């Protein structure tokens, strides 16, 4: 990791098999927007996206939400040809993230489910590190995902693990 990343804004990770990683990141987004910062959220591997998507769109222009994948279906269930097409779309999303960081477009960048890209071998840890290397001193990056490996963990200033201890489905 280069010196710029060590001295700049924080890199935070919300990981684990529990529910709440994306809502935790969205909480940061609302706080940052309330402080007058621009926020960019890029979602990966979300299928149709979050139920919060329509709500987040109402928070524009302070919070901008992007999703580069075209399919609403689960990435792993796509036929090989469509999966290859979606990989190109995902890589376009990662290139956009790098551009956002390099032109200092926002104070907070959320890469929602980016850890799943590494887990599914769509990008490498080195490619993620290359994106993060464009981060300026005053930009915070939040990454979410279920699986976290040691190499990704080393990129972050702070890692929070969210696990489900008990899950009870509420009856109507």
Give the mean pLDDT per block of 10 residues along the chain (172 residues): 48 93 93 94 77 70 89 80 91 97 95 95 96 93 94 95 78 59
| pLDDT, position 155 | 95
Q: What is the DSSP string of 36-71?
A: T--EEEEE-S-TT--TTHHHHHTTTTTEEEEE----
| pLDDT, position 46 | 77
Q: Is the domain covering 3-161 a CATH 3.40.630.10 domain?
A: no
Q: What is the pLDDT of residues 89-139, one digit of tens each?
A: 999 999 999 999 999 999 999 999 999 999 999 999 999 999 999 998 899
Q: Which residues, other chains included, contact 5 with Cβ-Cβ below 8 Å and sequence gap of 6+?
A: 11, 132, 133, 135, 155
Q: Which runs of E-coded beta strand occur in the chain?
A: 11-15, 39-43, 63-67, 108-112, 140-145, 158-161
Q: What are phi and psi of 30, to 5 degrees?
A: -65, -40
């Amino acid at each position: 990791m280069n010196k710029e990343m060590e001295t700049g804004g924080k890199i935070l990770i919300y990981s684990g098999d529990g529910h709440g990683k994306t809502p935790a990141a969205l909480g940061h987004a609302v706080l940052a927007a309330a402080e007058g910062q621009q926020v960019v959220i890029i979602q990966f591997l979300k299928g149709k996206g979050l139920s919060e998507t329509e709500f987040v769109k109402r928070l524009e222009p302070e919070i901008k939400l992007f999703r580069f994948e075209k399919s609403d279906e689960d990435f792993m269930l796509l036929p090989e040809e469509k999966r290859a097409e979606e990989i190109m779309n995902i890589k376009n999303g990662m290139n956009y993230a790098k551009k956002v960081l390099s032109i200092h477009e926002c104070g907070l960048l959320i890469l929602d489910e980016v850890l799943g890209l590494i887990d599914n071998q769509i990008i490498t840890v080195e490619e993620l590190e290359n994106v993060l290397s464009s981060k300026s001193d005053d930009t915070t990056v939040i990454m979410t995902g279920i699986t976290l490996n040691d190499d990704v963990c080393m990129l972050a200033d702070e890692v929070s693990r969210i696990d489900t201890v008990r899950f009870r489905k509420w009856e109507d």
